[in-house]
Amino acid sequence: MKPAPFEYMRPKTVAEASVALGRRGATTAAIAGGQSLMPMLALRVALPDLLVDISRLDDLKIVTRTPDSVWLGALTTHAAIEDGETPDVFNGLMRAIAGQISYRAVRNHGTIGGSLALADPAADWPVCLSALGATVRIVGRNGVRVQNVDDFLQGQYETTLEAGDIIMGFDIPAPPRSFRWGFSKVARKSGAFAQSLAVVVAEANDTHVRAVLGAAGPRPKPLVATAKQLEIPNSTENDIRAAIKADLNTYFGELDDYQKRMHTANVLHAARNMRAQ
């Protein structure tokens, strides 16, 4: 299939891009890696009047590290993270997740900003960035604002982005050296979208645990009871399993029995991986 006709624009600055994306009376879309948008255009699922190419905006490619955090520009590709071209202060967590996103050809072009902007419930980065406590910086017609990733994600393919808004990048707190993590993903085949995606992170002695589950509902959810249970010394797998089930009933009550068993096993596997480090 072929996309519907649209106007194409490649702005030279973020400000120009914001003005173009906020054009009144027009349906606009930003494109960078295009790994999700291009198929949507071809299938005419997306029908923009104006396509704004932000792929060459250097301000969205900045990657920096400070003692307290890592900044990843929105145009950072999955492949750059997988290959260690970005600061790896997360003991390999982000590299591991990047390496399991789709296929290498997609990872070469797909961006972390595009993943968050699309807000697919089964995507990897929303779960990871939520677990790491990241914030997203957005520039738009009303200036710059910063939001927690959990607040930015509103639902299935829904975010707080408004007309003219552009994701600049993500500020991710640098964890202590004792940082440990577990990651587990269920998919029908390698490279496919997740049916269940769990990330569990903790500091030494299983303190400050955060567990997040994706692909179970419209958006990722922190599993509060599970995290608290994992912080209890010598908690058993049965205790953790019960906490996971309680979280699923609280946040994802619409799941059937098979889905609950799958997500329970997946979160438990991520917790085991974290404790094994």
Kindly state the average pLDDT of the residues 11-40: 94
Q: Is 15 helix (H, G, I), strand (E, B) or coil?
A: helix
pLDDT at 55 over 80: yes
Two tokens, residue 7: 């106007």
Q: Is 167 helix (H, G, I), strand (E, B) or coil?
A: strand
Q: What is the pLDDT of residue 26?
A: 84
pLDDT digits (tens, 9 = 90+) for 257-270: 999 999 999 999 99
pLDDT at 204 over 90: no
The CATH code for residues 7-52 is 3.30.43
- Max distance between CA atoms of the chain, in angstroms, equals 61
Q: Where are the domains of the chain?
A: 7-52, 60-173, 180-276
pLDDT digits (tens, 9 = 90+) for 145-196: 999 999 999 999 999 999 999 999 999 999 998 999 999 999 999 888 899 9
In the numeric block, the tokens 């829904």 are attached to 158
The domain defined by 60-173 folds into 3.30.465
Q: What is the pLDDT of residue 1?
A: 61
Q: List b or e across 54-81, with b for residues whose CB sees 16 or more CB atoms inside 10 angstroms.
A: beebebbbebeeeeebbbbbbbbbbbbb
Pairing mode, strands 7-9 and 50-53: parallel
Question: For the whole model, what pTM was predicted?
Answer: 0.95
Q: Is 8 helix (H, G, I), strand (E, B) or coil?
A: strand
- Tell me whether domains 60-173 and 180-276 share a fold: no
24 pLDDT band, cuts 50/70/90, is: confident
Q: What is the pLDDT of residue 259?
A: 98
Two tokens, residue 270: 């991520």
Q: What is the pLDDT of residue 177?
A: 87
Phi, psi of 233 (to 5 degrees): -60, 140
pLDDT at 19 over 80: yes
In the numeric block, the tokens 């406590």 are attached to 133
Q: What is the dihedral of CA 252, 256, 262, 266, to 10 degrees?
A: 10
Kindly state the average pLDDT of the residues 65-92: 97
pLDDT digits (tens, 9 = 90+) for 104-157: 999 999 999 999 999 999 999 999 999 999 999 999 988 999 999 999 999 999
Two tokens, residue 276: 């094994």
8 pLDDT band, cuts 50/70/90, is: very high
Kindly state the average pLDDT of the residues 187-216: 94
Q: What is the pLDDT of residue 228?
A: 98
Least confident window among 22-26, 104-108, 226-230:
22-26
pLDDT at 79 over 90: yes
Percentage of residues of the chain with pLDDT beyond 90: 91
**Other beta carbons less than 10 A from residue 34's beta carbon:** 18
Two tokens, residue 138: 């957005």
Give the rounded distance of the alpha carbon of 210 from its chain centre: 15
Selected from 3.10.20.30, 1.10.510.10, 3.30.390.50, 3.40.1050.10, the CATH number assigned to the domain covering 180-276 reads 3.30.390.50
Q: What is the pLDDT of residue 206?
A: 84
CA distances from 258 to 110, 195, 238, 274 (A): 32, 12, 19, 25
pLDDT at 243 over 90: yes
pLDDT at 275 over 70: yes
CA–CA separation, 255 vs 187, rounded Å?
17
Pairing mode, strands 63-65 and 28-31: unpaired
